[in-house]
Amino acid sequence: MCSKPMSLETHIAGSDDQLIAGLHFAGRNTASYITSRQNVSFAPQTASNFKPSGSRLMRFSLADHQGWLDGGSVRLVFKLTNMNVTGSLQPIVDSPASLFRRLRIIANGSAVLEDIEEFSRVVELFSTLLPSQRRYNNITETWGGAFIASGLDSPVHPDPIEADTERTVVVHLMSSLLGQGKLLGLSMLPLVLELELGELDDCFAGGDNQWEISRPRLVADVLQVDQALQNSYASHLLSGKSLPINMTGIYSVKSAVPTGSSLYSFPIARGFTRLSTVYLSFWDGTGKFVNSFYSPLVGLTNTTEHDEFEYHLTVGSERYPQFSIDSHQECFYRLRLARQIAQGTDSVSISPHAYRTNKFITALNLEKAPGASSHSGINTRSGSQLTLNLRNTGAATTCHVILVYDQICNISAAGVEVLD
């Protein structure tokens, strides 16, 4: 016997009524178990003054604290002094976080939660992919002010630091652990944060810059909870259970592009249980590596580019996508898909001209259910190596790849374990 097709009216009749927001008068939830919230400051363990020609490594210990760290509130604050007595110091990067070439966060003394190489370029790449207004807001918070430079694409640069003067700089560190949204119990997850400075001229115009960082401190909001709640977490761990913190890991790797070769394969040695997104960019050896994203499509027209640059990924015998990406349009479309803005109103702050010249970034999303928080990326640990396959990369000398993957920081009575 055939069932009668369901009508919309039947579906509605079978649904539960719920009060609309305007008729729902329940009170707000309380959080009386939080007893205090304070903005605290952590001094570096290593030194008080830092520069590329001297002390380069900043190390902050967040281990000797019993509170709960609000990772989203963490900022690095310091004085940046222009040591040149005659010329100004002109930053050319969105974020002063790009002064650092490497970021590491270590838990319990040995568990490496984050280790991002080429951190300066990673920061600039993701800043470039923000909408313009968010970039301007970030520059105002970090550098203090900005101006619009002249030129076709009118780039925004932070205000210069005049000769023999200093400026307070506030750095919002790009970190998966600090940005994942959960409070971090520092008694269960003692942390050490390390930052390694890059070179003198990496982030500034010109090639004869002299600068120094002094009086750095890490500032953050730390919450205290009542003893009953604190004891409940301790009992949870002692009973053999764990506290998982979901994170989005970042692995950054670069490779020299062979000269005189039209075909180039870049094998990625590291494997991932769930790899979600791959970002691809190039450098041609001109400009600054930190923020120059050379386009292999520069100088090509829509009618000739199909015979030139193309790329795809392989994992074993599987190919992503099925057909190689071989046009300026699809490179940008794939980037917007990876950023999950292909169907919305959000945008990236890259002009059409810049995308074809010095702001070329493309990406591939490899999730089966993009944006669903469902661990649906691909497995590259099962004996099948991930390889990036490229053709005709123009004058590119360096290929830079950023891999975004699922990661869990698992806290137990035995310590901290990183699952990726």
Let me know whether 194 and 262 are in one domain: no
Strand 310-315 relative to strand 318-325, pairing: antiparallel
**Domain CATH number, residue 79:** 2.70.9.10
Q: Which of 221, 241, 261 is the last residue of a domain?
A: 241
Let me know whether 363 and 233 are in one domain: no
Domain range holding 105?
33-241
Q: Which of 241, 276, 293 is the last residue of a domain?
A: 241
26 inside domain? no
Q: In 182-339, which ranges are continuous DSSP H helix?
A: 227-238, 328-338
Q: What is the pLDDT of residues 141-162, one digit of tens each?
A: 899 877 666 555 656 788 999 9
164 inside domain? yes
21 inside domain? no
Question: What is the C-alpha to C-alpha distance for residues 348 and 336, in angstroms, rounded to an integer?
Answer: 8
Q: What is the pLDDT of residues 272-308, one digit of tens each?
A: 999 999 999 999 999 999 999 999 988 655 555 445 8
Let me know whether 356 and 209 are in one domain: no
1 inside domain? no
In 3D space, the residue among 265, 282, 311 whose CA is nearest the CA of residue 121 turns out to be 282
Let me know whether 52 and 108 are in one domain: yes
CA of residue 13 relative to chain centroid, distance:
47
Q: What is the pLDDT of residue 306?
A: 46
**Domain CATH number, residue 248:** 2.70.9.20
Let me know whether 221 and 249 are in one domain: no
pTM reported for the whole predicted model = 0.91
4 inside domain? no
149 inside domain? yes
351 inside domain? yes
- As to burial, measured by CB atoms within 10 angstroms (0-12 exposed, 13-18 middle, 19+ buried), residue 58 is buried
Q: What is the pLDDT of residue 330?
A: 93
Let me know whether 193 and 227 are in one domain: yes
Joined tokens for residue 244: 């998982």
Q: What is the pLDDT of residue 6?
A: 64
Let me know whether 230 and 260 are in one domain: no
Q: Which of 191, 211, 241 is the last residue of a domain?
A: 241
Let me know whether 357 and 234 are in one domain: no
Instruction: Dihedral sign for Cα 217, 222, 227, 228, please.
Output: negative
Let me know whether 249 and 118 are in one domain: no
H or E segment at 171?
strand 166-171
Query: For every one of its 420 residues, what pLDDT tens digit does the chain have, with 9 covering 90 and above?
Result: 555 666 777 777 878 888 878 888 888 888 899 999 999 999 999 889 999 989 999 999 997 678 999 999 999 999 999 999 999 999 999 999 999 999 999 999 899 999 999 999 999 999 999 988 888 888 888 998 776 665 556 567 889 999 999 999 999 999 999 999 999 999 999 999 999 999 999 999 988 899 999 999 999 999 999 999 999 999 999 999 999 999 999 999 999 999 877 899 999 999 999 999 999 999 999 999 999 999 998 865 555 544 589 999 999 889 999 999 988 899 999 999 998 876 666 778 898 889 999 999 999 999 988 876 678 899 998 778 899 999 999 999 999 999 999 999 999 999 999 999
Let me know whether 271 and 216 are in one domain: no
Q: What is the pLDDT of residue 305?
A: 47
Let me know whether 232 and 166 are in one domain: yes
Q: What is the pLDDT of residue 268?
A: 95
Q: What is the phi/psi pair of residue 395, to 5°?
A: -90, 10
10 inside domain? no
Let me know whether 123 and 254 are in one domain: no
Asked if 246 and 70 touch (Cβ cutoff 8 Å), the reply is: no
Total count of domains within the chain:
2
Question: What is the C-alpha to C-alpha distance for residues 55 and 196, in angstroms, rounded to an integer?
Answer: 9
Q: What is the pLDDT of residue 73?
A: 97
